[in-house]
Amino acid sequence: MIDSLATIQNLGNNPRTTPAISEDSQSSATMQMEDFLQLLTSQISNQDPLEPMKDTEFISQMANIASLEQMQQFSKGFEMFASSHKDMVAQAYLGRAVEIKSGSEELSGIVNAVERSEDGKISVLVNNKAYDPNEIIKVSLPSE
């Protein structure tokens, strides 16, 4: 197996592996399915003919990689959901009376608007001033 890993490392000049190396750092840091299949092919071609690996080992390795890939996709999807959930929660503050603690300042008022800045950050407008929704310490129905 160590020999097969050394063989994989020597494949750096292979044009098929070059794009994977030149991608952004996050995707190149993780092992892709194509990399796994290339490693598996090298293991098969370099194994000892007197003591070959069992087919169940290959199937187990492939199942583990597929499971890892699915977990990564689930994680990305959950991050997107959590981000959109924050937007929805901020919109629920519209027309509500809130108390905000911003630094040493505490104030209260009605949320007039919810805005998204160019960088994607959400803010709530209270008394015509923008605040981070995380600074809200109390939400209630407005008193009439």
Q: What are the pLDDT digits (tens) for 70-89?
A: 898 999 999 888 877 777 78
- Domain co-membership, 117 together with 56: no
Q: 138 forms bridges with which residues in the sheet?
A: 99
22-31, 55-64, 108-117, 122-131: which has the minimum mean pLDDT? Answer: 22-31
Q: Which domain holds residue 102?
A: 92-140
Q: Where among 40, 65, 84 does a domain terminate?
A: 84
33 in the same domain as 104? no
The CATH number linked to 121 is: 2.30.30
pTM for the whole structure: 0.46
Q: Are 79 and 12 contained in the same domain?
A: yes
Q: Give me the pLDDT at residue 144, please.
A: 65
**Domain total in the chain:** 2
Does one domain contain both 65 and 108? no
Are residues 11 and 64 both part of a single domain? yes
Domain termination site, one of 61, 84, 107: 84
E strand spans, 63-121: 97-102, 105-116
Indicate the residue among 66, 84, 102 that finishes a domain: 84
Where would I find the beta strands (DSSP E) of 1-135?
A: 97-102, 105-116, 122-126, 129-131
Average pLDDT estimate for 123-141: 89
